[in-house]
Amino acid sequence: MNSIVIAGRLARDPEIKFVNGKTLTNFVVVYSTWAKEVADRKGQFWNCSAWEKQGDFIGNYGKKGDAVTVHGEISYRDADTAEGKKRFYEVRARQIDLQERRQNAGEAQERASTPPVASLTDDPFAEE
């Protein structure tokens, strides 16, 4: 069985294309390998593609920096490069979940200045 799950962030905005009238969206997911020292951490980049509804979803709602989880299968293609033959791997997405949106400075400021609706200490059943 060919199956992979990747959790990371979008490295750039997804690119939407149309192939024979169908939506194809290409995007890159990056995740960092853990290391004690920040300088020793390395990013792993995965090229991904999604067709039709999944492609529309990530193309319209995904933005650079958003946290995503991609369920899919690995495919590869061989190509001739200046260094010789090279194999390129890609994840064909079957399911894409947006986990968290990266906030820009304006959104973070607005959320920080908005008071919470209720706090944990509020008792909605308390008599006044």
Poorest-pLDDT segment among 38-47, 91-100, 116-125: 116-125
- For the CA atoms of 48, 54, 56, 57, the dihedral, rounded to the nearest 10 degrees, stands at -100
> Whole-number mean pLDDT of the chain?
82
Q: Which residue has the higher pLDDT, 126 or 118?
A: 126
What Rg, from alpha-carbon coordinates, does the chain have? 20
What's residue 35's pLDDT? Answer: 67
Q: Cβ-count burial of 5 within 10 angstroms (0-12 exposed, 13-18 middle, 19+ buried)?
A: exposed
List, for residues 44-85, the tens digit of each pLDDT value.
Answer: 899 999 999 999 999 999 999 999 999 999 998 888 888 888
pLDDT for 32 beyond 50: yes
Q: Which two tokens stand for residue 23?
A: 């939506």
Tell me the domain boundaries of the chain. 4-104
pTM attached to this predicted model:
0.71
Q: Which fold has domain 4-104?
A: OB fold (Dihydrolipoamide Acetyltransferase, E2P) (2.40.50)
21 φψ region: left (φ > 0), alpha (ψ -120 to 50), beta (else): left
What's residue 120's pLDDT? Answer: 40
Q: Which residue has the higher pLDDT, 104 or 28?
A: 28
Average pLDDT of the segment spanning 92-112 = 72
DSSP-derived pairing of the beta strands 67-81 and 22-32: unpaired
Residue in the structure block whose two tokens are 């690995």: 74
- CA neighbor of 93 nearest in space, from 122, 57, 117: 57
